[in-house]
């Protein structure tokens, strides 16, 4: 009987250990062609993207000109062609303005769907504003996309005053950006001062002490093995982040020598910025939130006179983006 009890305890302990091991395994999707664990001594940084040792651009962009003062890089899934089209029609049409100090491009990853790939090639031939890396375009690879944006900015847009990284479901008030870059005499002096800041600027709607999600039901689940603390350091939600050049350079360098973490906003603007002692400036007073936006769209004749904002909240529909452009577009 004692031997049977001992075997039962051993079986229970082994089972518990097995359950713990399974729980601690990261839930990352396949990250595509990922090489051996990161080596800090890659001979060529251009071909090094965190732990991706054979990185290259499938679709490249020409370097920024001397007159480019601000670069906007939009994170977009390869299949989000309608969203990119709406942005080009509205606030993102800055590339079509002669002498514009702003430049915009869309950041994509690699795709395995041949028909979608053909469509992307045709889109690039028509608009020429896609920047595509050779990592697979999946949610778990979004940190590669973010660091690719920092890489391109640091290597090829050295004269710009800022990098604005945004998602493809928001509205950017490019009229405010253009006014500030061409003739910085905005009525909102606090926003003016932020946009004119040249150093140590990490600007976003800061998230404070966010709890780590452990539930298997969530796409944001993080295992204890990936991140052991119960809360994240303060970080920038990814829908809008504005970097001054020095901050973009520091975070890029730190990301290149740090292990991969699939929540890009937490990793780059939270964990790495805390490690580098980079403060986060608060963008919240200059964000157009959903309730205010609906009020503006319902009382359109008063909108332009009363509101000065830089970006909208995220998850906007194409109709909402077009409506905001009709009110705040740079005519």
Give the mean pLDDT of 121-129: 97
Instruction: Grade residue 220 by pLDDT with cuts at 50, 70 and 90.
Output: confident
Segment 272-321, tens digit of pLDDT: 999 999 999 999 999 999 999 988 888 765 555 567 799 999 999 999 99
Identify the residue with better confidence: 165 or 297. Answer: 165
Q: Residue 22's pLDDT is what?
A: 30
Q: Which ranges constitute the DSSP H helices of 90-199?
A: 114-127, 142-156, 174-182, 189-196
Q: Per mean pLDDT, which range of 80-84, 222-226, 258-262 is the poorest? A: 222-226
Identify the sign of the CA torsion 21, 23, 26, 28.
positive
Q: Residue 300's pLDDT is what?
A: 62
H or E stretch at 109 = strand 102-110
In the predicted structure, residue 241 carries a pLDDT above the cut 80:
yes
Would you say the pTM of this structure is higher than 0.85? no
Give the mean pLDDT of 256-278: 96
In the predicted structure, residue 100 carries a pLDDT above the cut 50:
yes
Q: Residue 215's pLDDT is what?
A: 82
Question: Could you give all domains of the chain from N- to C-terminal order, each with its CATH number?
Answer: 45-328 (3.90.550)
CA atoms within 13 A on the CB side of 226: 22
Residue 192 burial class via C-beta count within 10 angstroms: exposed 0-12, middle 13-18, buried 19 and up: middle
Segment 64-73, tens digit of pLDDT: 999 999 999 9
């Amino acid at each position: 009987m004692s031997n049977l009890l001992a075997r039962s305890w051993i079986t229970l302990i082994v089972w518990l250990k097995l359950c713990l091991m399974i729980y601690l395994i990261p839930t990352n999707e396949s990250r595509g062609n990922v090489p051996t664990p990161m080596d800090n001594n890659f001979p060529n940084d251009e071909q090094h993207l965190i732990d991706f040792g054979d990185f290259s651009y499938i679709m490249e962009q020409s370097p920024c000109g001397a007159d480019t003062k601000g670069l906007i890089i939009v994170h977009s899934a390869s299949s989000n062609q309608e969203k990119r089209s709406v942005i080009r029609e509205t606030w993102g049409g800055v590339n079509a303005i002669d002498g514009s100090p702003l430049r915009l491009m869309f950041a994509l990853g690699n795709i395995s769907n041949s028909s979608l790939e053909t469509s992307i090639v045709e889109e690039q031939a028509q608009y020429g504003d896609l920047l595509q890396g050779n990592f697979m375009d999946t949610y778990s690879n979004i940190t590669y996309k973010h660091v690719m944006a920092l890489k391109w900015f640091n290597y090829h847009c050295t004269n710009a005053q800022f990098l604005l990284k945004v998602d493809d479901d928001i509205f950017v008030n490019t009229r405010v950006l253009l006014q500030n870059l061409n003739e910085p005499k905005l009525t909102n002096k606090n926003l003016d001062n932020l946009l004119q800041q040249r150093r140590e600027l990490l600007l976003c709607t800061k998230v404070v002490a966010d709890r780590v999600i452990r539930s298997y039901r969530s796409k944001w689940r993080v295992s204890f093995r990936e991140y052991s603390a119960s809360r994240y350091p303060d970080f920038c939600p990814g829908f809008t982040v504005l970097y001054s050049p020095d901050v973009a350079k520091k975070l890029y360098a730190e990301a290149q020598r740090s292990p991969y973490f699939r929540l890009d906003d937490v990793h780059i603007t939270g964990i790495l910025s805390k490690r580098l002692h980079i403060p986060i400036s608060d963008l919240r007073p200059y964000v157009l939130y959903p309730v205010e936006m609906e009020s503006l769209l319902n009382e359109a004749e008063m909108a332009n006179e009363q509101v000065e904002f830089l970006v909208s909240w995220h998850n906007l529909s194409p109709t909402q983006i077009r409506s905001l452009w009709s009110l705040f577009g740079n005519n």
